[in-house]
Structure 1
Amino acid sequence: MSENDQPNVLLIVADDQRFDTIGALGNDHIETPNLDALVREGCSFTHHFNMGADQGAVCVPARSMIMSGHSLFNIEGPGGMTEEHPTLPEAFGNAGYRTFGTGKWHNGHEAFNRCFDEGKDIFFGGMGNHWNVPVTDRYPLGKYPQPKPYRGFSGNGSIWPRHKQYDKYASGTHSSELFANAMVNFLENHDESADERPFFAYMATMAPHDPRTCPGKYLAMYDQDNIQIPGNFQPEHPFDIGWCGRDEHLEDYPRDPEKLRRHIADYYAMITHLDAQIGRVLNRLETIGERENTIIAFTADHGLAVGQHGLMGKQNLYEHSVHIPLLLVGPDIAVDERRNHLTSHYDIYPTLCDLAGLDTPSAIEGETLVPTFDNPDAEIRDHLLLAYEDVMRAVRGERYKLIEYYTEDGYTQLFDLDADQSETDDLSNDDSYSAEYEQLQAQLRQLQETADDPLIEE
């Protein structure tokens, strides 16, 4: 157990888990007792967003933004890790922290070795078989093993041979359990060692990303016949959004409501199983006496449509794909409270530094959220820029949201999120909303210029 007064940090990032999949945040159809406990013990940011992506693998830039503190158009360098200042874990390591990482890392070997001094059961990839995860431990010199055959999944669920740089397989252990095991072992080691440094520990899960498989006990908890089809379900999207890759081929067109019930049931089961593994980690933190002195942060890289708006994936700018949870628990954090400030992934870096008493690099683009704990009216920002590749841009305010599609036909949508959280009533052609429309278009251009959006001509 550390005798250092500085708080530890435990950062957990799920894969594909959207905001409305935590029971305590309003979903009565899912069981997440451990995440519910974090909601009660800390502060939930109810309007947290992934800014978007410049590629189909949305998780890559999302995780880069978390680790770099930069927005989408300013992440650079190997793995999207900034070269002008330390990464988030690196900043803690430079301040004397023991740094450890486990789980999914889609940003390359070099970036992982730069971020963490220790690592176990690391999955260098985007997706795979949850029951046969090819993993490796951190290699200090960065010289990872030679490639070995690996069977991955294609978009339609079939299997194709690939090669990845891994040195072992965790056959028969589900990915969520595998990564929780690694984190529990790290915590036990930390408790038993003579190392008095505080720790920065990172666990990134593969769940609930497809293929959505988990122990039958959890699958049996959700009867697809009792699953509600979302109100914004559509057999297919009404117009071309400019992208139709792997995720959109996970189910046939037109979307079948009965098949979607199964997708949603499996999605919920994966999240409940993941929640149980998070509970194991939190229990171990309690057992070693570090729970009260640890800042716990939980978020996800991005959300997922699973049938909403006729879409299956996250390569879009609707709320279901960009709106994600952010839970903060620990010393000096508001208890059992919620904040509705507009926040994004690049705010996590300065917030964790601020909570731990570390200096935040001046080049960081994010805003610390610490002032909101004492002052719910503290200003963070009034609008967020959202983007996907070169085909979509959006501006999200506290009430209204404007999405522009740069496709051959072009399209613009305007939503009043106070009255229409499901984004089904497009107001862009309603003259009574012309002032909001024009204001948001101007705000979008301003945000694009500030963010160095490559779509804005110099």
Structure 2
Amino acid sequence: MIDQRPNIVFLFADDQRFDTLRALGNTDIHTPHLDNLLEHGTAFRQAHIPGGTVGAVCMPSRAMLHTGRTLFHIHDDGRSIPEEHVLMGETFRQAGYATFGIGKWHNGAASFNRSFSDGEDIFFGGMEDHWNVPAFRYHADGSYSGKIPVIRDRLMSNEVEYRPADKIQAGVHSTDLFSDTAVQWIHQYKEEEEPFFLYVSYMAPHDPRSMPEKYMQLYDPASLTLPDNVACEHAFDYGIRDIRDERLAAYPRTEEEIRGHLAEYYAMITHLDDRIGDIIHALKETELFDHTIIVFTGDNGLAVGQHGLMGKQSCYEHSVRVPLIFSGPGIPKGQRRDEFVYLSDIYPTLCELTQVPIPSSVEGASLAPLFSRVGAISDRDRLYFAYADLVRAVKSREYKLIVYHHKSQLFRVSEDPLERYNLIEDPAFSHMEQVLMKELIEHSYRSGDRKHPAGQQFWSQFDRHQQGEDEQL
């Protein structure tokens, strides 16, 4: 008997923020295939990550996606995933789906093999040279122990290092490598009795930002629209000034340099969009498209000059909001929705759409009721964010309060979405600050933040600072 449940293709970008689709209002960028996907599906314009507990924000973000768990309930910042946290691919595999994984995996080799019954061109790590990806074939026994020798400083040394990998396809861009593998797998798939879960996890548009030249030629840096919150430096130093991401541009940031970074960022996204178009075309050629749920999203946002920042180690909108599109059977076409969403909601949503039981370890909320216009997500009128032991924030429909060790910011995000005007010293908003501060503290307890090492560090320093201010008064 043929299993009638829909297939799933999950497309996961790396560092692509929420405002990088033409269909959602960015007139500078070219994303025709993702725009078309949206016309056949539903976009959530208020999709977020809750931040990250380490500088490599993508690592906990990906752990949250694959486990459906919240930031302070994942293990070891996402470096590995314990067996009691049932993975998304693992759930579909146990439910009779053929699961195939391609591309970046940042949460340990053991959890990859729990998730996928097969795979190819697997990259275990955070970032690499896009043109020379150290990749693995799928090893059913989980022994990803291959190493390839390389001399990195060949002009000054003969020292040999060993990169974990089975193979490197020199000169093949990561976006092309992963997309070609996905297209080939779709064409080879034999639709018999089992549906499939195909996971394609890209390394783009993460730096080092490089792409085939034809995509760069689409963007003239001088003609791009810079957001009004681009700044030479952040308003104050909160502890990330010298981390790797922030060293990608010199201080003070110049308009010319930021324009160059933005052009490269957009070019990488257009390259990604182009190859996603090939995957969608392969689904149509094989007559699988109409029976396949497609999800497109990203693991975190990126500043690229906004607020004087380059990376994603903050609680600003540009860093915690991501694109999220669902398309396929059971998904309304052409809808834009503004419910508050976390990436951890995707896992239970896909389970419900495919009639797969949701494991008890999953903490996210299914979005499936929204697609049938029945009900809504309960208890999601506030969002809680964190970055390491440096920043905490809470967001309502109208306001966002961001708290550092020694400073706070209050933005009326409903009217100031670029978070330009800090209202924290305006007496007219003192009551709102107090309300949101109370909610922030309540969330810190309810979320498990206070028990997490990063949370313990943040709140102990914050409490000491507050006590010192009280004593001065």
Q: TM-score, normalised by structure 1?
A: 0.94
Tell me, yes or no, if the aligned pair for 2:8 and 2:293 is still in contact at 8 Å. Answer: yes
**1-side partners of 2:280 and 2:362: how far apart?**
30
Matched, 1:434 2:433: no
**2-side partners of 1:183 and 1:301: how far apart?**
20
Correspondence for 1:272: 270
**1-side partners of 2:238 and 2:419: how far apart?**
15
Residue 33 to residue 65, structure 1, CA distance change in 2 (3 Å): same
Give the Å deviation of 1:446.
Answer: 1.5
Residue 162 to residue 41, structure 1, CA distance change in 2 (3 Å): farther
Any idea what SS the aligned residue of 2:193 has? coil
Any idea what SS the aligned residue of 2:258 has? helix
Aligned amino acid, residue 19 of structure 1? F
**1-side partners of 2:17 and 2:433: how far apart?**
27
Give the Å deviation of 1:373.
Answer: 1.7
Tell me, yes or no, if the aligned pair for 1:242 and 1:405 is still in contact at 8 Å. Answer: no
Matched, 1:223 2:247: no
**2-side partners of 1:419 and 1:261: how far apart?**
26
Moved more, 143-152 or 303-312: 143-152
Give the Å deviation of 1:301.
Answer: 0.2
Aligned amino acid, residue 195 of structure 2? P
Correspondence for 1:338: 336
Correspondence for 2:203: 206
**1-side partners of 2:49 and 2:416: how far apart?**
20
**2-side partners of 1:226 and 1:402: how far apart?**
34
**Is there any run of 5+ residues in structure 2 with no aligned partner, and where?**
154-158, 461-473
Give the Å deviation of 1:148.
Answer: 2.5
Could you list the per-position Cα deviations for residues 186-208 of structure 1 after superposition, in whole angstroms to 9, with x for gaps in the alignment?
Answer: 11111xx3642100110010110
Correspondence for 2:306: 308
**2-side partners of 1:376 and 1:265: how far apart?**
42
Could you list the per-position Cα deviations for residues 221-266 of structure 1 after superposition, in whole angstroms to 9, with x for gaps in the alignment?
Answer: 0011111222101111111122231000001000010011111001
Aligned amino acid, residue 207 of structure 2? D
Correspondence for 1:400: 399
**2-side partners of 1:32 and 1:162: how far apart?**
39
Give the Å deviation of 1:27.
Answer: 0.4
Give the Å deviation of 1:270.
Answer: 0.4
**1-side partners of 2:342 and 2:298: how far apart?**
11
Could you list the per-position Cα deviations for residues 418-437 of structure 1 after superposition, in whole angstroms to 9, with x for gaps in the alignment?
Answer: 11111010011111112211
**1-side partners of 2:302 and 2:370: how far apart?**
28
Any idea what SS the aligned residue of 2:403 has? strand
Correspondence for 1:411: 407
Tell me, yes or no, if the aligned pair for 1:339 and 1:376 is still in contact at 8 Å. Answer: no
**2-side partners of 1:429 and 1:152: how far apart?**
52
Any idea what SS the aligned residue of 2:230 has? coil
Give the Å deviation of 1:292.
Answer: 0.9
**Is there any run of 5+ residues in structure 1 with no aligned partner, and where?**
154-159
**1-side partners of 2:394 and 2:4: how far apart?**
42
Moved more, 248-257 or 165-174: 165-174
State which of 372, 375, 379 in structure 1 corresponds to 2:373. Answer: 375
Correspondence for 1:357: 355
Correspondence for 1:166: 165
Any idea what SS the aligned residue of 1:171 has? coil
State which of 318, 321, 325 in structure 1 corresponds to 2:319. Answer: 321
Correspondence for 1:157: none
**1-side partners of 2:233 and 2:114: how far apart?**
43
Give the Å deviation of 1:150.
Answer: 4.9
Give the Å deviation of 1:376.
Answer: 7.8
Any idea what SS the aligned residue of 1:284 has? helix
Aligned amino acid, residue 175 of structure 1? S
**1-side partners of 2:70 and 2:134: how far apart?**
31
State which of 439, 462, 467 in structure 2 corresponds to 1:443. Answer: 439
Residue 391 to residue 161, structure 1, CA distance change in 2 (3 Å): farther
Q: TM-score, normalised by structure 2?
A: 0.91
Aligned amino acid, residue 238 of structure 2? I
Correspondence for 2:418: 422
Tell me, yes or no, if the aligned pair for 1:50 and 1:322 is still in contact at 8 Å. Answer: yes
Could you list the per-position Cα deviations for residues 383-406 of structure 1 after superposition, in whole angstroms to 9, with x for gaps in the alignment?
Answer: 111111111111111121111112
Residue 368 to residue 5, structure 1, CA distance change in 2 (3 Å): same
Correspondence for 2:37: 38
**1-side partners of 2:352 and 2:205: how far apart?**
30
Aligned amino acid, residue 7 of structure 1? P
Tell me, yes or no, if the aligned pair for 1:395 and 1:401 is still in contact at 8 Å. Answer: yes
- Within 5 Å, give how 1:16-165 maps onto structure 2: 16-76=15-75, 79-150=79-150, 163-165=162-164
Residue 197 to residue 45, structure 1, CA distance change in 2 (3 Å): same
Could you list the per-position Cα deviations for residues 129-175 of structure 1 after superposition, in whole angstroms to 9, with x for gaps in the alignment?
Answer: 1111111111111112333235789xxxxxx9854310100111111
**1-side partners of 2:295 and 2:377: how far apart?**
21
**2-side partners of 1:376 and 1:64: how far apart?**
29
Q: Which runs of 4+ in 1 moved over 6 A?
A: none
Q: Please give the root-mean-square deviation of Cα atoms over the aligned residues, in Å.
A: 1.9
Give the Å deviation of 1:330.
Answer: 1.0
**2-side partners of 1:373 and 1:253: how far apart?**
46
Correspondence for 1:181: 180
**2-side partners of 1:383 and 1:37: how far apart?**
31
Moved more, 432-441 or 266-275: 432-441
Moved more, 113-122 or 80-89: 80-89
Give the Å deviation of 1:304.
Answer: 0.4
Any idea what SS the aligned residue of 1:99 has? strand
Residue 397 to residue 163, structure 1, CA distance change in 2 (3 Å): farther
